[in-house]
Amino acid sequence: MRAKSYAKIAIWTITALVTAFAAATHIACGTQGDIIGGTTAWPVSGTKPWAKLDLGDGVLALLAPEGEVYLEPCLIKALGHHWIYFERRVVEAREDGLDYATHSEILVAKGRNAFDYEIEYDGLPVLYPTQDWEGEFVGAPTILQREDNSLVMWYAGGVAAGIGRAISHDGGETWEKDDGPVMVADQKWERGFVGAPSVIYHNHLFRMYYSGGEVTETSTGQFAGRLIGYADSPDGIHWTKRDHLGNNSKDDGNNVFYIMGPTQFWEGADEVNPDPYIGGVNSPAALMTNQAGRNVLLLYYGGNLVGDPILHEMSVGVAGAYDYNTFTKAPIIEMNPVVNQNFDLNLWGISEYLGYSEYSPSVIQVTFDLFLMAFAQTDPLAELTGGSRGIGLAQNPPPRDAAAGG
């Protein structure tokens, strides 16, 4: 009888120990994981998905007033802050009812953080046309911070006149320009136009991606190119244009090819009778990323149906390269364009879909798993209704509670 009691005590003791063991390990060991199980830490490559950020009732990060267009943003983190340098283009309506640009200059907005910007210097430009070759237009800035904390800017000047360079030693308030452009159109494919540069510094060279080809002024006042070229330079002043076939402007004169042209339908490409001057890709933004120890160069760009005066249907696409000038575009199934948001307009009881226009992207990697894009945006009826024109932001990956805007 006594042994039986001991046995019962032993069994209950062991059962209690097992239960306590289970409970303790349940509490002490590790984390629960996310609700799906392993989805919150997916790798982020900066390609897709993107979601436009609603910065309060859909207000853009920088909203252009009537009569102006904000475009060609350059989003950078420099000197401990986030900045958006951008082009302000003043437009006026002419007899055909559309807006055309009269002049442009470069402004800067300082970020309170990566998402919240305010225009600096009371809206006065930090760079404006002063040299003959610039005519009435400077814009499309791209900026790098140097080791001595000075800033160097490359910018487009004039109407397809070239690319200039300027340096700031006071954090971007004042800039010293070089005399004349550092790059002009001299290749056949450029047809007299170069602009919208994007410069990175990698492997001891400055590397520039720029727009070229026929220039078309859109109804938003943008000078849109059709093709994208590449050049590199040891000093940022003397540039050698190169293509993916091995040609370079030093040895091959004006026979260097563009590195990317319109080939996908959303870029306006003629898929039946391919012609690089039908449709367009332009305003490139280069970003060197690192994927599991390998460098991957991403090139964001605008693609559009150039020539459509009302519905540009401009969107942002992405291409990538494992070198500097051999790019593969993201496929059109589930990928390109990566920022192409539509809105639902209920017109006379019939649902119709019209697209916003997104163009002139600029992208930075904020953290290991967050990419931020600034882009120029208009709504499709901006010309008719005075709709919003300005600089918007998108992020990859989208916020957890946001729908993808791709």
Partner 1 sequence: MRRLLAGLTLFALLIPAAAWATPYDTFGTGARSIGMGMAYGAVGGDASAMHYNPATIVKASTFQLEFGYRVGDIALEMNDRQSDIDQDRGFTLGVVIGKTLLARQFRIGVNVYTPDDHFMRFYLPQRTAPVFLRYTNINHMQATITGGAFEIVPDIWSIGFGSSFVSSNTGGVDFLLSEDEGARGNLVTRLASKATPVIGTYVEPLEWLHFGLTYREKREQSLGLPNRIDLGNLKVFKDNGIIVFQEGLEILQVNSSTHFSPRQINLAMAVEPNDSFIWSLDATHYKYSEMKSNVAFSVANLTGDLGQVLPSDPPLLIPEPKTHDVWGVATGVEYKAIDNPKFQLHTRAGYNFRPTPVAEQTDVSNLLDSDTHIIGAGLGFTFADFSEVFPAPITLDIFNQFHYMEERTMRKHDPTNDFGDVKIGGYANSIGATFILRFN
Interface residues with partner 1 (CB under 8 A)?
A: 3-4, 7-8, 10-11, 14-15, 17-18, 21-22, 25-26, 29-34, 36-49, 289, 291-294, 296-298, 318-322, 327-331, 333-335, 348-350, 368-369
Question: Which residue is it, tokens 């005590």?
Answer: 9
Considering the complex, state which of residue 45 and residue 247 has its C-beta at the smaller distance from partner 1.
45
Comparison of 187 and 396: residue with beta carbon closer to partner 1: 396
Buried b (16+ CB within 10 A) or exposed e, 38-54: eeeeeebebbbbbbbbe
Of the pair 187, 264, the CB lying nearest partner 1 is at 264
Show contacts of 113-117: CB within 8 Å, 24+ apart.
113/82, 114/77, 114/82, 114/366, 114/372, 115/53, 115/55, 115/61, 115/372, 115/393, 116/55, 116/61, 117/61, 117/62, 117/82, 117/84, 117/391
Gap between the Cα atoms of 131 and 90, Å rounded? 19
The distance of closest approach from Cβ of residue 270 to partner 1 in the complex, given in angstroms and rounded to an integer, is 20
Task: Report in angstroms how near the CB of residue 108 gets to partner 1 at its nearest.
Answer: 31
Nearer to partner 1, 306 or 319 (CB): 319
List C-alpha distances in Å: 247 to 96, 189, 199, 225, 242: 43, 13, 20, 22, 6
Taking the complex as a whole, the smallest distance from the CB of residue 204 to partner 1 amounts, in Å, to 22
Least distance to partner 1, CB of residue 136, Å = 38
Residue 32 or residue 130: which is nearer to partner 1 going by CB? 32
The burial of 103, by beta-carbon neighbours within 10 Å (0-12 exposed, 13-18 middle, 19 or more buried), is given as middle
Structure tokens at 3: 């042994």
Q: State which residue, 49 or 195, has the beta carbon closest to partner 1.
A: 49
Please give the Cα distance from 241 to 212 (Å, whole number). Answer: 12
Judged by beta carbon, residue 36 or residue 385, the one nearer partner 1 is: 36
CB of 30 to partner 1, least distance (A): 3
Minimum gap (Å) between residue 241 Cβ and partner 1:
22
The minimum distance between CB 300 and partner 1, in angstroms, equals 11
Q: Which residue's CB is nearer to partner 1, number 338 or number 391?
A: 338
Residue 10 C-beta: closest distance to partner 1, Å: 6
Which residue number, 10 or 384, has a Cβ lying nearer to partner 1?
10
Chain centroid to CA 284 = 8
Q: Least distance (Å) from partner 1 to the CB of residue 59?
A: 29
